[in-house]
Amino acid sequence: METYELEAVERVTTRPPRDFRTLRVRSLTPVVGAEVSGLDLSRELTDEQLGELRQAFLDHHVLVFRDQHITQEDHLRLAGHFGELRPVNPPPPEGDPHILEISTTPEAANVAGNGWHTDGSADAEPSLGSMLYLKRIPEPGSGGDTLFANMHLAYEMLSPALREMLDGLTAIHDGLAAFGSQTPPAGYVAPRSEHPLVVRHPETDRKLLYVNPAYTTRIPQLSEEESRAVLDLLFAVTARRPVLSCRVRWEPDTLVFWDNRCVQHHATYDYYPYTRYGQRIAINGGPLKA
Ligand code: SIN
């Protein structure tokens, strides 16, 4: 790695490992992801537990909870502690409007999220985070992992000259882009928004690269050709730098809570013809600022 890249990794990892009183946190990698134990998410959490959970979320960006036997009401209550719940778009035909079923059966030709993306980046006020609870993992117990990439580090690892160029730009995120040549589902209201290309995390104020190949379509300050080249370069950063990411291997009854403001994720579809099933709740965020 170049010196500036090593320095970037140090900047993103230099935090003293924090000791918590009410939970245990074990990092998945030094830069992203942690397994949290010591909490029973089927019970109402105390203010102290919630405060420590919020801190662990800001430190690690992706939190993994194993062996959680929770009901839909527990899932909704837990997500509600972090913000207003975001209705699913398009609304589900039945059941709670905030629960998105993530279901892959042998008939699926592909699976939603099988590519790097950020949930809700095309919304004017992108999502704060998502909580996915998997009840069924592919038999015989392998495959269907989810990858998460730290977009603070993606930004910090760019050369200083490129960072300077990107700092003043914006990017268009288009909800239709994620469907490619496919027709979106009936009732889908396609959002389209312009965000700074480099944003500051609303809670930590740290800079991050806010583009993703599923939704980001154009840098309006550049020509069409320049915009395509720069976006392709930035998309490749996530795909080509394993140091940015962690891999979550699911077990039944695992819940993962990730920060949509500073990570991208990639659901891996490598388990045909098996079935994977879970439910996801997204939490509203606010506008993103440079
Ligand atoms: C998603 O893309 O939000 C779902 C991730 C997954 O299925 O692992």
Asked if residue 140 has pLDDT above 90, the reply is: no
What confidence score (pLDDT) does residue 98 get?
98
The pLDDT value given to residue 112: 77
Indicate whether 15 pLDDT > 70: no
User: Which entry of 61, 98, 119, 201 is annotated as an active-site residue?
Assistant: 119
Q: Report the 10 Å Cβ neighbour count for 69.
A: 10
**What does pLDDT average to over the chain?**
95
Domains of the chain, each with CATH number or no CATH: 3-283 (3.60.130.10)
Residue 278 CA to ligand 1 center (angstroms) comes to: 9
Position 109 scores a pLDDT of 66
Quote the ligand 1 centre to 11 CA distance (angstroms).
28
Q: Once rounded to an integer, what is the mean pLDDT over residues 192-202? A: 98
Atom of ligand 1 nearest to the CA of 265: 2
> Rounded to two decimals, what is the model's pTM?
0.97
User: What is d(CA 52, CA 168) in angstroms, rounded to the nearest whole number?
Assistant: 35
Closest residue by CA, ligand 1 atom 6: 267
Which residue's CA lies nearest to atom 1 of ligand 1? Answer: 113
Helix (H, G, I), strand (E, B) or coil at 81: coil
With a cut of 80, say whether residue 17 has pLDDT above it. no
Q: Summarize the confidence of residues 30-58 as an average pLDDT.
A: 97
Range in 169-178, 179-188, 227-236 with the lowest mean pLDDT: 179-188
Per-residue DSSP letters for 75-89?
A: HHHHHHTSSPBPPPS
Type of residue at 55 = Q
- pLDDT higher for 248 or 16? 248
Q: Would you state the pLDDT for residue 110?
A: 67
Q: Locate the ligand 1 atom nearest the alpha carbon of residue 102 and give its number.
A: 7
Q: Please confirm, yes or no, whether 280 is among the known catalytic residues.
A: yes
pLDDT confidence band for 5 (50 / 70 / 90):
confident
Residues 18, 50: contact at Cβ < 8 Å? Answer: no
Query: pLDDT by residue (tens digit) across 241-285?
Result: 999 999 999 999 999 999 999 999 999 999 999 999 999 999 999
Residue 119: both structure tokens together: 């949930």
Query: Which pLDDT belongs to residue 81?
Result: 98
CB contact at 8 A, 289 and 199: yes
pLDDT value, residue 213: 97
Q: Ligand 1: does its nearest atom lie under 6 Å from the Cβ of 280?
A: yes
Estimate to the nearest angstrom the gap between the alpha carbon of 268 and the chain centroid: 14
Cα separation of 147 and 130, whole Å?
14
Mark whether 119 is an active-site residue: yes
201 is catalytic: no
For ligand 1, atom 7, which residue shows the shortest CA distance?
267
pLDDT at 255: 98
Please write the tens of the pLDDT for every residue from 72-128: 999 999 999 999 999 999 999 999 999 999 999 888 766 778 999 999 999 999 999
- The Å distance, Cα 232 to ligand 1 centre, comes to 23
pLDDT at residue 202 tops 70: yes
The answer, yes or no, to whether residue 290 has pLDDT greater than 70, is yes
CA 226 to CA 217: how far, in whole Å?
12
